[in-house]
Amino acid sequence: MTSEAKGNLRYRAGTMTALATIVLVAGGYDVMSGATAKPAAAASSNEASKGGKLTAAAASSNETRKGGKLTAAPASSNEADKGGKLTAAAASSNKVQKEGMSMQVSPGASRVDHAEDSPRSDAHYIVKYNTVVTSTQVPPGASQVDDTEDLFRPGPQYEQKYNAEGQVDIYGGKSAVKPPRPLLELGREQYTSGEYDESSTLFGELNPLLPGLSIYGDWRTAVAYNNNNGKDIAQIATRLNLDVDFKITGTERIHAFFTPLQDNAKFTRFEFGGGDADNKFNFEFDPNPQTLFFEGDAGAIYSGLSGEQAGFDLPFTVGLFPLFLQNGIWANDAILGGAVSIPAKNSAALGLANFDVTFFAAFDNVDNQSVISNVSANRDNNIANLYGVTAFIDAFDGYIETGYGLIQGFDEQDGLLTHFLTAAYSRRYYNTLSNTTRLFGNFGDGKDNDGFAIISENSLISGLPSTLLPYANFFVGFGAPQPLVDGNGAGILKNVGINFETDALTGFPKLNDTASNAWGGAIGLQYLFNLDQQLVFEVATVQPFGDPIAGVGAEDPQYGFGVRYQIPITNAWLFRADATYQIIEGGEDNWGIRSELRRKF
């Protein structure tokens, strides 16, 4: 038998016995003499040839070659040759010859004939219980293979000329947005991709160094004319927000935040008009950091130092760090202390798919307007400590936020204890309404220290769910509800609507935001155009009831009408304009109009 006739002949045999040797020798003799064997059927290793093309099938592991490409077939190890290409065979070596090609067939083997013009040249078998049958012998429970159909779908068809814009249109015409880069970037740049230099393993191979220093933030400048609480002032004011971030590893960093062009709530400004303007330039400066903290992951640090995977995550922070909870309603302040989180946990027993728990404590810079009589003094003196815990839970087909806080007074507030509780539940109902209901409570032994408030935030799912957002937010408050901490002196209603928030720059007027013995809300419509502009219209009201707390709640009903427009000029520049008119029964109305340019970097 010549290998040139068959091409790259390979045999895989289970065992080499004397009987197999005799069979091979006999087969060689038959090939040389041109003997022809009759078709037979076999149960283990079979080969069939037609028109000089050798095919194979088996009951355990098979291989077939078609068009010079070797493909795997199940069960045993057999050989098939097509177009002069021979594939692997095993167990017994069987060959069939037709039209002058020699072949050898073991007893019981059968050959399958296919039409010469068949689109598929491979023999098709249905294998069951180690028995190979032809397609006309279909056992019960098996299906016949249609040999006339291609079993594969055609490949993708492309136009002659590639249309790049058409490929982008598949994704709604969206493209990558190039954000403004930071003022300063040293080392590993922020939010970049590509090949990076090899990292240092100073802190261990499992916690490599990724050093990088960046300075980023924004610069806001606004022109406003406000009549707020009897003060009529036209001014231009500016503020600079600087974030300084030093990345150490992938999980550790040192971060600082500066507002150099302001002193607490006073901003660098020039008052140029209005009955109460001072008509001069007022430069405010504060070089002290508003935040300065270290944050990292104890698990990653342990992995680096020990050389072993920690198997746990334990993020933490220490220093003057921002505490931001319940979208800033319950806590929005920088406190001096520390926090640690237990993240990404679950409980099958309680049916909780995911929850996080965070513990925090502060020993200075605890700003609570009602508990601390002099908030400014607390920035330099330790007159209150703060202890708390908060949790975030995915449960009951929604999202739960809950927390507890304790403020402990010192010095002139010595012996004062005030407790704070909060809970919120967010969920979408029937793809029609998104609702978040928030509860806030505080009680203690201080003056005007007890209060409770409920806030319901609602937005309708419109026909344009991403761009047209009708909303209606409502509240009711009893006593003197208050945030746990807030560095801007804002009340519990700061996020109810645009008529309840100021601009933290020009003294833009707002409705009473304490929810003290009052009910009310805001109804508005927000339109985002093509996700490139924002337009908001809103009406709001505060309706007091009972006896007002002097200096805290509203004494008479208040009504507000507000509008806001924002548009990005470039990826770095943003323009914003606001206007409000607020009717104060029993007092002078408040109103304001402003425009602002913001530069991000």
pLDDT by residue (tens digit) across 329-383?
A: 999 999 999 999 999 999 988 889 999 999 999 999 898 876 655 444 444 446 8
Of the chain, the percentage scoring pLDDT greater than 90 comes to: 57
Q: Give the amino acid at 112.
A: V
Whether 435 has a pLDDT exceeding 60, the answer reads yes
Kindly report, residue by residue over 166-190, the tens digit of the pLDDT: 777 887 777 778 889 999 999 988 8
Q: How confident is the model at residue 195 (pLDDT cuts 50, 70, 90)?
A: confident
Residue 584, Ramachandran bin (φ over 0: left; ψ between -120 and 50: alpha; else beta): beta
Whether 52 has a pLDDT exceeding 70, the answer reads no
- pLDDT of res. 93: 39
- pLDDT of res. 189: 87
Q: State the Cα–Cα distance between residues 417 and 359, nearest whole angstrom.
A: 19
What are the start-end ranges of the H helices in 149-211?
164-169
- Give 222's contacts (C-beta < 8 A, 6+ positions apart): 236, 237, 238, 503, 505, 506, 594, 595, 596, 597
Residue 591: helix, strand or coil by DSSP?
strand
Say if CB 511 and CB 582 are below 8 A apart: yes
Whether 304 has a pLDDT exceeding 90, the answer reads yes
Q: State the Cα–Cα distance between residues 201 and 207, nearest whole angstrom.
A: 7
- Give 556's contacts (C-beta < 8 A, 6+ positions apart): 544, 584, 585, 586, 587
Kindly report, residue by residue over 86-128, the tens digit of the pLDDT: 333 333 434 333 334 444 444 444 444 444 444 443 434 334 3
- pLDDT of res. 148: 59
- pLDDT of res. 176: 78
Kindly report, residue by residue over 384-432, the tens digit of the pLDDT: 899 999 999 999 999 999 999 999 987 777 778 899 999 999 999 999 9
Higher pLDDT, 252 or 10: 252
59-63, 164-168, 253-257: which has the minimum mean pLDDT? 59-63
Q: What are the boundaries of each domain within the chain?
A: 3-133, 185-313, 351-465+478-495, 496-601
Give the residue among 467, 465, 471 at the shortest CA–CA distance from 534: 467
- pLDDT of res. 154: 77
Kindly report, residue by residue over 548-591, the tens digit of the pLDDT: 888 889 999 999 999 999 999 999 999 999 999 999 999 999 99
Higher pLDDT, 118 or 312: 312
pLDDT averaged over every residue in the chain: 79
Higher pLDDT, 513 or 160: 513
Whether 63 has a pLDDT exceeding 50, the answer reads no
Give the position of tokens 């098979």.
Answer: 62
